Every structure is written in structure tokens, then in C-alpha cells.
Amino acid sequence: MCEANAYVYKDGVEELYLENVDVMKPEQGKIYLKNLFGEQKVFEGDIREISLLRHKIILEKR
């Protein structure tokens, strides 16, 4: 499968935020995320980095 896990980066540490992310949509300073199972989350912050080959989305608070 080609989904990725989303992590929140803080002080050098990456903490799991949402697994198996399919859709991501930046919206007015927030990031809307939806995963394979329809679970939805809204992160208040930015995308720091995405690596699809490593299946990794790194988010960061502003």
C-alpha cells in the first residue's frame, strides 16, 4: 500500500500523529488529513517534509 504515516516533529523528536494517511489538504493554516480507514484529523501547523519512499509525513506546529 502507498499510504504514509504522519508524525509531528518537536524538539528533534517525531511523534506519531496519524497512521495510513491517504489524503492531505492544507486549509487556512491547518492541515486536513484523512487516512485509509476514513479517520480524519486537522493539524494546526505546517507540513515540514514528506518522503513518499520512506512513507513519512512530518508535520510541525507553527
Asked if 46 interacts with its own copies (CB under 8 A), we say yes
Comparing CB distances to its own copies, the nearer of 10 and 26 is 26
Asked if 55 interacts with its own copies (CB under 8 A), we say yes
Interface with its own copies (CB under 8 A), residue from 16, 51, 61, 62: 51
Asked if 23 interacts with its own copies (CB under 8 A), we say yes
Asked if 49 interacts with its own copies (CB under 8 A), we say yes
* Dihedral angle over CA of 46, 28, 41, 21, nearest 10: -60
Q: What is the Cα–Cα distance from 27 to 47, expressed in whole angstroms?
A: 12
43: its cell numbers: 493539524
